[in-house]
Structure 1
């Protein structure tokens, strides 16, 4: 019996079609797995069902009747609950308060603490024995470990007692015992007739808990399979599609350029990653692959000094590098470019010249600046990236997103670094700007710079990286070189058991 149906559902963001005419049927009493690469449309589909995104086309039916899901509250009233990949907890509130946050029991204008604690206890008891000794109803969420916070979010989702439950990467921070307990709960919910949409990057989990799997590729649903009657290889083939190409990096180029490494990492461990080790050689573009949020960005930020590692060693040009803070790593020759311009890039409200020069200020320890001299240094770097701007005195906000990102990259080209760390640098910019950026990146590598590139778009890695290290669960699971740099191998390593 169909519990939830999507017919011709589509969603576009400008020229980008995030979801195209999606048809999906979720039955009562099943765990239905959604699979696809980064940006394939899984989360967009989930958010449409949960009411946080409004579709442009199509209709949604619940128990055979068309429904209008106008927002998250409307979804909850219809019996739909979602666990978002980005946790939505109130950090300064207690575990019990977060579990009941969507529907706090009250007496008049006051919260009924007795009823709240009794309701929360029901869901906490489901995970008895796997939460940790310091986990309690009155524990403040911000004081909990990452796995405990994720458990609170799961409990909060379960507390809605919804007939349709969506779990988007709900197991990403959990240990094996916690996952097994969660799966026991899901199986019990199946027996009750609940419908569950499940998204995971772990192939072993998909085959352990799923009944059916639907594959989404480039915003389109390409097919569904009964889990019991398929294999991981078949599902990955559906994700890849007919194209099976190696990277377009020149085949004649050696996978591991000769010469000593410019960056050596051994046993690097910190929040979100463990025991990371690799070398980057002069002239090499080393790719970080895998599904989003598997530790790639955390490693890059740790190497830059934005997040402190707890163990391991790093060498830059054969000398110890202690990434305690960005100021120290910048002066030693490490550069970092983030795709999050608003957080890590542009200085909002300031002129283009001021946005392109801060690294030069820092490295030269400048106290006073001559604008003409600075402009003479800034212009070649901006021109190398084909940056379009009216004048250096214009505000950074006058530029398009792509040109703002070019300014952020240009600031590192004035005083060339030894190593360039690229953390999904093309996020949110147009195709023309991407082409300019990667043309320059390949040119810099050709001049001997060591480059580490994390890209959430697989094609960017396959087209540009000499080697690809595939991350899963905060660890490197596989290295792809030469002819092994294929989309199939990239997906297989990304989804293999953690």
Structure 2
């Protein structure tokens, strides 16, 4: 009998259509894998079931009855437990408290029943005995745990709900092999007990090890459901890509680079937190793409190159000269620029005027002490115009701009004094299509002027359309380079997913 059925689920955020048509069915006693590329709509579909996202259309049927899931509490009341890709732990609380956080046992309605808390949490902790690692205990505060241990706590919290339907959105991304094997033993036991499990993963070996069926979502639509025993890795990847997969046309040739040519950036054997043994070079006038699944070390490498995170090994050279930034200020002085897609964290200064947001790098590179607003406005006008930035006056607060125009201001700040190397860390995240078009047109122009550009994008289409070469990352290392006729969507998916 089908436990859960989703028909025609649809969700849009403004002009962005996150889910066009989501169809999914989950049977009792099965592990049903949900797979698709970055941004395909997998997580949105699961969040609809979990009650954290309200669909614009479609229906959810549970045990044969249509249901309206008004929120996370309503979802839990219906017997649905979910592991979110973004961990939702309380750092200052203990492991035991976090495991039972959605349903803390109370005494007299006022105080936490510590005896019941310890007893219930101990059962979950015991499931992972021997693989949870040193320092993992019921009374350990979560902030003292490693990334894999925090992920185990989130898994335990989901299992502790004892829900008949469990949804796991990339639960193994930070786990080691022994932890994954133990987790799969638990899932197989729960399946044998008749529980129903939705499992999202980008690791093909895991999908074929644990799944009974697999459903593929592509570009916001459910496109295929297959029995795991009757399919294989190339077939699943082909469903993710679609029937028509051709070599993506190479980016338009950049104008001849004036002045000297050569290497803008070279990296040899770079290693640090989240990446290891990364080597590549970027020629002046070249756009080098970083591809692969989200969180495979791409952003960590870019931040290390900019001095925003340390690296433990390897060498870096800019324009042939050895370079290692201890902090972003040193990178800026050497002509290295970094644009983050997280403009709230790494970009804009909230509440301050556009002029102040567009000129701080100019101040640092030129060691300015005296402010002449008129001169600054003239210097800022060129980059802002080149990006087609829309604003009333440059003295308006940056918060008065749309997200796309805020990101254009962040990019413009690096162009007042041209850098040698431009590091783009998922720069189009959360901006509209026109803003993306304006940005990539300028990037190609900058490459033509001799900049060496490294572009990481979580959208595969952006990489294929704009990068001259693509390095595919997996587990912190480069596993394949795609260039020329190898630059197809299938090859990009195959390199990212099969290696995973």
TM-score bin (small chain): over 0.9
User: 5+ unaligned residues in a row in structure 1: which ranges?
Assistant: none
Deviations 1:421-441 (A, max 9, x none): 001111111111111110110
Quick check: 1:48–1:54 contact (8 Å CA) kept in 2? Answer: yes
**Alignment partner, residue 482 of structure 2:** 480
Distance in 1 of aligned mates of 2:404 and 2:430: 8
Shift of 1:146: 0.6
**Alignment partner, residue 239 of structure 1:** 240
Deviations 1:245-298 (A, max 9, x none): 2233258789xxx95422122222222222222111111101011122222112
Distance in 2 of aligned mates of 1:168 and 1:293: 14
Quick check: 1:346–1:408 contact (8 Å CA) kept in 2? Answer: yes
Change over 3 Å in CA distance of 1:497–1:208 after alignment to 2: farther
**Alignment partner, residue 25 of structure 1:** 25
**Alignment partner, residue 75 of structure 2:** 75
**Alignment partner, residue 268 of structure 1:** 270
Where 2:499 maps in the other structure, the secondary structure is coil
Shift of 1:56: 1.4
Equivalences for 1:202-281 in 2 at 5 Å? 202-250=203-251, 260-281=262-283
Is residue 327 of structure 2 the alignment partner of residue 320 of structure 1? no
Deviates more, 1:90-99 or 1:273-282: 273-282
**Alignment partner, residue 47 of structure 2:** 47
Distance in 2 of aligned mates of 1:20 and 1:236: 20
**Alignment partner, residue 493 of structure 2:** 491
Distance in 2 of aligned mates of 1:432 and 1:206: 37
**Alignment partner, residue 429 of structure 1:** 431
Distance in 1 of aligned mates of 2:342 and 2:226: 37
Distance in 2 of aligned mates of 1:268 and 1:90: 33
**Alignment partner, residue 85 of structure 1:** 85
Shift of 1:240: 0.7
Quick check: 1:247–1:464 contact (8 Å CA) kept in 2? Answer: no
Deviations 1:81-138 (A, max 9, x none): 1111111011111111111111111212111112111111111111111111211111
**Alignment partner, residue 421 of structure 2:** 419
User: 5+ unaligned residues in a row in structure 2: which ranges?
Assistant: none
Shift of 1:311: 2.7
Distance in 2 of aligned mates of 1:364 and 1:466: 33
**Alignment partner, residue 452 of structure 1:** 454
Where 1:133 maps in the other structure, the secondary structure is coil
Quick check: 1:251–1:482 contact (8 Å CA) kept in 2? Answer: no
Deviations 1:139-168 (A, max 9, x none): 111111111111111111100001111111
Quick check: 1:314–1:322 contact (8 Å CA) kept in 2? Answer: yes
Distance in 1 of aligned mates of 2:283 and 2:187: 47
**Alignment partner, residue 365 of structure 1:** 367
Shift of 1:313: 2.3
Distance in 1 of aligned mates of 2:382 and 2:254: 29
Change over 3 Å in CA distance of 1:340–1:83 after alignment to 2: same
Quick check: 2:248–2:465 contact (8 Å CA) kept in 1? Answer: yes
**Alignment partner, residue 139 of structure 1:** 140
**Alignment partner, residue 179 of structure 1:** 180
Change over 3 Å in CA distance of 1:340–1:250 after alignment to 2: closer
Distance in 2 of aligned mates of 1:345 and 1:250: 28
Deviations 1:57-85 (A, max 9, x none): 12111111122211111111111111111
**Alignment partner, residue 94 of structure 1:** 94
**Alignment partner, residue 295 of structure 2:** 293
Shift of 1:4: 0.7
Is residue 167 of structure 2 the alignment partner of residue 166 of structure 1? yes
Shift of 1:232: 0.8
Is residue 400 of structure 2 the alignment partner of residue 403 of structure 1? no
Shift of 1:396: 1.5
Quick check: 2:251–2:465 contact (8 Å CA) kept in 1? Answer: no
Deviates more, 1:393-402 or 1:347-356: 393-402
**Alignment partner, residue 347 of structure 2:** 345
Quick check: 1:172–1:473 contact (8 Å CA) kept in 2? Answer: no
Cα RMSD of the aligned pairs, angstroms, is 1.6
Where 1:205 maps in the other structure, the secondary structure is helix
Distance in 1 of aligned mates of 2:356 and 2:454: 26
